[in-house]
Amino acid sequence: MQKIKERILEYLAVLKLKGDMKSPILCFIGPPGIGKTSLGKSIAAAINRKYVRVSLGGVHDESEIRGHRKTYIGAMPGRILQSIRKIKSSNPVMILDEIDKVGSDHRGDPSSALLEVLDPEQNNSFYDNYLELEYDLSKVLFIATANNLSNIQPALRDRLEIIDLSGYAVEEKIEIAKRHLIPKQIDMHGLSNNNFKLNDAALKKIIEDYTRESGVRELDRQLASIMRRQAKDLVTNGKIKTTITNIDVEKILGKPKYSNEIYKTANMAGVAVGLAWTYVGGDILFIETQLSEGKGELKLTGNLGNVMKESAITALTYLQANAKKLNIESDLFIKKNVHIHIPEGAVPKDGPSAGITMFSAMASAFTGRKMKPYLAMTGEITLRGQVLPVGGIKEKVLAARRSGLKEIIMCWQNEKDVEEINPDYIKGIKFHYVKNMLQVFDLALV
């Protein structure tokens, strides 16, 4: 969270020099369970201001923000001024939680009402319908949180200073568990007077084998399960184990839910491993290609969105156009049907990052050459054969690391994104930066 810490320190430095300033409107974007709301609470404590949280999830009435006129029965001020009245401070840290989940219907559009609240040029004279007075909100430090930037209205997004929080690496999760989660769970389960510890190896096993997330919410639940078992043992036997090992973890939590073994090798030609971004962090997906006798038809299955379907068609056209360069017999495209499938058909998949993976899977199927093991890739393609940059690189790279992959192919323009990741978290991963699909072909196939 280096960027966020720097940003808050800059804000505090200006505040110290000037004594008073218009507060910025920060917006933390990141997967669930990563600590966006907790971070707001920490900022309030650090700058010694009162903290208040306004949950905007599901709010679809404009008067929730602006207040009702007094002529209505049950009229009351808007949520913003109610919160300020409740904590009795005109310069608190106010968390506007889940700003991307605001609804709209016939009663108005709350996200449009928020424009006045969150515009530093206007909010010094915010008008509440109930008060019938202008109120100065410019001293309030607003911090919005959201999971998905694309769900925020464009005019509202323009007024926010976006700060990305991506997923945690395994090493970061171990530290978070040791410093925060374990002490909290020990206290919650009445085990404060009993000395016992989870070693790093056991924590790593819980993180890698029982959770698949960017945040730490599921990890917190798994630690709670271990604490409940410890509490039960203490009550029934009068004593508990002082150190919890990997074997104890498996006894308490059962067999591992997730295995990295399936990602490490793609044993047959036509199977490539891609990296995907989801709103809960990075993920790994297989792209399988099978050729069958037919007339050159292309079938796509696995609940794909329009963007991914177009990527597959583009990749096939590029293969056909460059068959000679790639040593593929051109009559194969007429004699064979191509079927591309992405497993887990119940999960919708879309986005502009599977282009080179689909190209590699098809190239592997047509040439009969297997994909290099321990290799994943992400990037979009063009008909000219260029590889385009994509987003969500940190989440994707951490997902590859979690899954035990050793090499990643991506666009050369994404190198700057990889440089922002702490080198300790990506040790052992080799990156190949490519400009065109011929380079991908040479790197990916054995």
Catalytic residues: 353, 396
CA 133, 138, 143, 145 torsion-angle sign: positive
Q: Is residue 301 within 8 Å of residue 344, measured between CB atoms? A: no
C-alpha triplet 290, 373, 365: angle, nearest 5°: 20
Strand partners, 388: 380
DSSP calls for 391-443? S-HHHHHHHHHHTT--EEEEEGGGHHHHHTS-GGGGTT-EEEEESBHHHHHHH
Q: Which two tokens stand for residue 416?
A: 């700057």
Backbone angles phi, psi at 155, to 5 degrees: -65, -35
First to last CA, the chain: 39
Backbone angles phi, psi at 183, to 5 degrees: -55, -40
- Tokens for 99? 């700003």
d(CA 29, CA 421): 17
The dihedrals phi and psi of 32, each to the nearest 5 degrees, come to -65, 150
From the list 347, 366, 377, the residue with the least C-alpha distance to 437 is 377
The Cα diameter of the chain in Å comes to 79
Give 301's contacts (C-beta < 8 A, 6+ positions apart). Answer: 339, 340, 341, 342, 345
| Element of type H or E holding 319 | helix 306-321
